[in-house]
Structure 1
């Protein structure tokens, strides 16, 4: 991604952590920021994708490390940041990207299913953000946190209730800490992407080609976002070129929210039994 229209040294001297950075949009962001001079540390629960992404960054001339971490666990997050700073120096920026989601009728969500989404999205984002804040405040250093939210954090959406709840909490955290920590030069912002096809998310959220085309038709630009487009935006938002933005949520959805509202509300127009059967088929296919 070194051909992106951004200065090649935009993120020089930065050490940026990307949670969930081994796959999908997280990998795209990590590779883009590494190409712009940042030292990158990524985490995730599986070591294989971390190793693959780190190798790709290094092969392209960048600097990166991957450390396995379950962001749902506060102690694991603390140990991760200790290891990241021991290996590559003080962390200066954080991209909260790790997330989980699935389609389900609200009445059918199990306690374990609810916990899996809330703990990954909300708890994980808070644990990582708090670790950075504690370190930056103690060292009297500036820092930047960018969290990946969603457009339906504001509008709500049917059939993704835990995700909508957790992402709304992330937006509230962003605005609250932007006010609380801003005095120390610590900035917090968020990006609310619309639909960006990735292998993992698409298999859990888009039930077939027909539904994919309907989703695309809702976007005024009549296309989905590209990972490299989001990656370039994130790189700019993490840079000193954006040093006065604090407490903002940047919508990045091709205009979808302006005309469509909640991303999965169209399913409410279908018979509920048909919707549930569709969700069950998707779960069975992914097992």
Structure 2
């Protein structure tokens, strides 16, 4: 268990847990003592992650979750409630992107990004909040936005729009759900190296981008551990509606 912050007896749901940041978030929360519900469409990857958590002495279940399917969202949270007894922490992490110039962006591209990053995130947070409100427990909702929600990134117009929406969504939820003891905050990561983009950073284009960053480096998933644990814990009881840039200074350049 991580020193300083304990999430013992808390139930945490991590969406998009099958890879990348979601996988790291789930491991960190489990190490801090939380019982973790791993949610994603790729259940084979989830089972492997659950095995790692159990081997380390943690508790994890896997739940198939397609954030674009409202019935599936409701069924997934019902399953989590039945197996773990309700939700205390949601890490709302599912997200997708499409790179294209605005003039080349298709309606399908637009819907693909907005449906997952905005609509899906909204209704997953709604499901978690309904559970918390019904059980009358203080909760923590952590929306994973992006530095792209704070500044414009080239050829990522729809992605930037979607993450800006997540920023405003977070503030609206923080205001509306404060009376129920639910704290809703967002993390805006900068460039983080994951298995999806690892090869890109070694290319000339990737190296050129790194050279333009404030400290000429990209982050690792573990660089978000401290921010995540703080927002998930009781130590964050006075933090609500915060939009935290964890981007190595990129958003202020």
TM range (shorter): over 0.9
Query: Partner of 2:59 in structure 1?
Result: 63
> Does 2:244 align with 1:250?
yes
Deviations along 1:192-230, one digit per CA (max 9) or x if unpaired, are 010001122456xx4861122222222222221111121
How many Å separate the matches in 1 of 2:29 and 2:160? 28
For 1:31, which of 23, 27, 30 is the aligned residue? 27
1:13 CA drift (Å): 1.3
Bigger Cα Rg: 1
> Does 2:214 align with 1:220?
yes
How many Å separate the matches in 1 of 2:83 and 2:102? 43
Would the alpha carbon gap of residues 19 and 39 (structure 1) be closer, same or farther in structure 2, given more than 3 Å must change? same
Query: Partner of 1:232 in structure 2?
Result: 226
1:135 CA drift (Å): 1.9
Consecutive unaligned residues in structure 1, runs of 5 or more: 260-287
Query: Partner of 1:111 in structure 2?
Result: 107
How many Å separate the matches in 2 of 1:63 and 1:40? 6
Residue aligned with 1:91, SS: coil
Consecutive unaligned residues in structure 2, runs of 5 or more: none
For 2:44, which of 44, 48, 52 is the aligned residue? 48
Query: Partner of 2:127 in structure 1?
Result: 131
Residue aligned with 2:205, SS: helix
Residue aligned with 1:200, SS: coil
**Contact 2:194-2:220 within 8 A present in 1 as well:** no
Deviations along 1:64-120, one digit per CA (max 9) or x if unpaired, are 111111111111101000001111111111001110012111121222221111111
How many Å separate the matches in 1 of 2:184 and 2:244? 12
How many Å separate the matches in 2 of 1:87 and 1:147? 24
1:33 CA drift (Å): 0.6
**Contact 2:150-2:251 within 8 A present in 1 as well:** no
How many Å separate the matches in 1 of 2:24 and 2:133? 30
**Contact 1:16-1:95 within 8 A present in 2 as well:** yes
The Cα RMSD (Å) is 1.6
- Provide the TM-score with structure 1 as the length reference: 0.84
> Does 2:149 align with 1:153?
yes
How many Å separate the matches in 1 of 2:51 and 2:206? 32
How many Å separate the matches in 2 of 1:243 and 1:179? 14
Deviations along 1:15-50, one digit per CA (max 9) or x if unpaired, are 010000111110001001101100000111111111
- Provide the TM-score with structure 2 as the length reference: 0.95
Would the alpha carbon gap of residues 81 and 201 (structure 1) be closer, same or farther in structure 2, given more than 3 Å must change? farther
